[in-house]
Structure 1
Amino acid sequence: MIRIHFTAADLGRVTFPAEPHPLWEAALAARALSDRSVWPAVRRWRRTAAPRVQGSMRPLFKLISPTGMFPGFLIPDVPGPGLEPVVEALTDTPADVIRDQLEPWLPPEIDRYMRGLLDGRAGSRRALGAAVREFHQEVLVPTSSELHQRYGAELGIRSRAVLHGGVDALLSSLHPDVEWSDPVLTTHGPADDWITDVHLKGRGLELYPSPFVTNCLALDSADRRPVLVYPCADVADPSADGADLDPATTDALADLLGRTRAAVLRSLTHPATTTQLARRVGISLASTSEHTRVLRAAGLITTHRTQGTALHALTPTAQPLLSEAHEGTVANLRPDRRL
């Protein structure tokens, strides 16, 4: 059980990352590769992702314990987007911080790599940075389109909760295992025989939805804003019994638009640039531009250009289409809106 204690100031500092953090995703995905208690979507992802894992990525996996724990320095808090700044911050972690976070959990005998990491050796640091970079680029980016769609859909759900009921509605509806009773947010796991208390004290809270977890995780460090990782809503699971079905046989929106174009539209439950959208869906920039052109002509998305960047968002016409398609029906398209 995790109990997060809010003050009045903290309620005004509840935020979400606009898109998944590269190192959070790397740590949680590496953890999920050895965790059998994951959602069907993650099992599908794992079948594709596991063959892409290489031996050179082992330094990352060495930091994930058999119980799923990983050190806080693996997920540095870096302002601004992109993989390289966070990898640089990771490899620059002071040796004393690494020792403080790792040594209590390590056995007496450790291998050469881990000894070098504890001692702050440049070679071990470079190996860790290279492992994280390779894992992100070779495993996560090519395989995570469905999971990124779920992330975007989750942000859409939470945005609507805030619009209709404020922060109280948001915190009350995060997950069936999360209970909000002002001023305490409590997460319940499979066993509540341990309790962790997090006192925000005005630091605020970052909420991080992840398709890679089935239970909540909390990061509480004095030098950064606390983070609560919670499971994404398990949307669009097509089978009642957990079996994997072909989405093309059960997805009315994909029948209408085509699977890729439907994925592009669903990914825009949270606005995205062309580059972000391409990464979410796992297609090329050229293909993304073509799909957004067609969706824009159909009146389903808008595109705003600022300083050379195109930001795409759903129109009010698209919202009921997505909702009705999720229920297995497609309606309210004008006859002249042909795709």
Structure 2
Amino acid sequence: MIRVHFTAADLGRVTFPTEPHPLWEAALAARALGDRSMSPVARRWRRTAAPRVRGSMRPLFKLISPGGLFPDFLIPEVAGPGLEPAVEALMETPASVIRDELEPWLPPEVDRYMRGLLDGRAGSRRALGGAVRDFHQEVLVPSSGELQRRYGADLGIRSRAVLHGGIDALLSSLHPDVEWATPVLTTYGPVDDWTADIHLNGRGLELYPSPLVSNCLAMDNADRRPVLVYPCADLTDATTDDAAGDALADLLGRTRAAVLRSLTHPATTTQLARRVGISLASTSDHTRVLRAAALITTHRTQGTALHALTPTAHNLLTGACKGIPGQIANS
């Protein structure tokens, strides 16, 4: 669980990057290649991106933990735009910072590259910089158009939320797994039993949408503005009226309709149970019925089940099927 505590000053300091940060994109994409619970968008991206990975990129992947976490120094603050200034800033990270962030998580014996990085050796720094450059050029650039389109579409949705309802509307509608109850924003991280409390204390918050994450991630460094990464909105999302919700509940039953509506953003069984407020056993039963009716798909990897809507369900929710007028709301 991640709890972000706002002050009145922080509400006026919520920002978004105007475009994706190169090193955030590299870290999130490298993480996505090993993520067990991915959205359909990220899975499609991985099918085309994974074959482009080369051995020269290994230094980057060594900094992504099996649980999907990565050190703050991999994503330094950079004043200017572009990849090169960011890579230069990364390679200039003091060895003491690298040791402080990495040593608590590393085994007693590490390979030559990692030992060089901990000791601040120029060869290991160059290897990391080269890995990031190669990853950007070979893996990210070929898919950058689609990823940036989704990033821009999400910013458009957030801009409309602020225009029509202010910061409260923005924070209340980020994602089904994000809850806003003034002055605390609560969400769930990549590990169920992990809890972090982030006290902004006037530093503000940068919100960072990504189509390559299925859970929220947070960075809280005392020397910079905290960042919350959240899953981009599904481009098929829309708004609803009460008639649509009632008709869907009449057709499927109230709880099952809520389960289906919640899957406008793909979710694991645990995430879905949280969104709807039902038990895991009940969630599993409802997803089994919806799957048998060809309304959802379930992708299973290493013990994790990720549920998503089928095209039939999208048509049902957007009113293409007779008797279900209107459109569906974000849960």
TM-score by length of 2: 0.71
Matched to 2:84, the amino acid is: E
After superposition, residues 219-258 of structure 1 pair within 5 angstroms as 219-236=219-236, 241-242=296-297
Partner of 1:165: 165
* Counterpart secondary structure, 1:229: strand
Quick one: distance in 2 between partners of 1:193 and 1:110?
A: 27
After superposition, residues 94-243 of structure 1 pair within 5 angstroms as 94-189=94-189, 193-236=193-236, 241-242=296-297
Partner of 2:301: none
Measure how far apart 1:65 and its partner are.
0.7
Partner of 1:66: 66
Measure how far apart 1:145 and its partner are.
2.4
Partner of 1:12: 12
Count the aligned residue pairs.
248
Measure how far apart 1:189 and its partner are.
5.0
User: In 2 relative to 1, CA 192–112 (structure 1 residues): closer, same or farther, beyond 3 Å?
Assistant: closer
* Counterpart secondary structure, 1:96: helix
Contact 2:190 2:217 in 1 (8 A): no
Contact 1:206 1:227 in 2 (8 A): yes
Matched to 1:172, the amino acid is: S
Quick one: distance in 1 between partners of 2:98 and 2:319?
A: 49
Quick one: distance in 2 between partners of 1:87 and 1:34?
A: 23
Contact 2:68 2:190 in 1 (8 A): no
Partner of 1:21: 21
User: In 2 relative to 1, CA 122–227 (structure 1 residues): closer, same or farther, beyond 3 Å?
Assistant: same
Segments of structure 2 that go 5 or more residues without pairing to the other structure are 238-263, 265-293, 299-310, 312-317, 321-331
Measure how far apart 1:167 and its partner are.
0.5
Quick one: distance in 1 between partners of 2:12 and 2:108?
A: 45
Q: Give RMSD over aligned pairs.
A: 2.1
Matched to 1:204, the amino acid is: G
Measure how far apart 1:79 and its partner are.
1.8
Contact 1:40 1:242 in 2 (8 A): no
> Does 184-193 or 80-89 show the bigger shift?
184-193
Contact 1:161 1:169 in 2 (8 A): yes
Matched to 1:132, the amino acid is: V
Measure how far apart 1:190 and its partner are.
7.6
Quick one: distance in 2 between partners of 1:58 and 1:191?
A: 24
Partner of 2:82: 82
* Counterpart secondary structure, 1:144: helix
Matched to 2:140, the amino acid is: L
User: Which 4+ residue blocks in structure 1 deviate beyond 6 angstroms?
Assistant: none
Deviations 1:108-135 (A, max 9, x none): 1110000000000000000000000110
- Between the aligned residues of both structures, percent identity stands at 79
User: In 2 relative to 1, CA 77–189 (structure 1 residues): closer, same or farther, beyond 3 Å?
Assistant: closer
Contact 1:41 1:146 in 2 (8 A): no
Quick one: distance in 1 between partners of 2:130 and 2:295?
A: 41
Quick one: distance in 2 between partners of 1:182 and 1:24?
A: 28
> Does 151-160 or 187-196 show the bigger shift?
187-196
Matched to 2:185, the amino acid is: L
User: In 2 relative to 1, CA 58–86 (structure 1 residues): closer, same or farther, beyond 3 Å?
Assistant: same
Quick one: distance in 1 between partners of 2:221 and 2:138?
A: 30
User: In 2 relative to 1, CA 135–192 (structure 1 residues): closer, same or farther, beyond 3 Å?
Assistant: closer
Contact 2:59 2:127 in 1 (8 A): yes
Quick one: distance in 2 between partners of 1:12 and 1:138?
A: 39
Quick one: distance in 2 between partners of 1:36 and 1:64?
A: 14
Measure how far apart 1:212 and its partner are.
1.1
Quick one: distance in 1 between partners of 2:123 and 2:90?
A: 14
Contact 1:17 1:206 in 2 (8 A): yes
Quick one: distance in 1 between partners of 2:73 and 2:122?
A: 16
Quick one: distance in 1 between partners of 2:158 and 2:146?
A: 19
Quick one: distance in 1 between partners of 2:80 and 2:236?
A: 31
* Counterpart secondary structure, 2:9: helix
After superposition, residues 240-319 of structure 1 pair within 5 angstroms as 241-242=296-297
TM-score by length of 1: 0.70
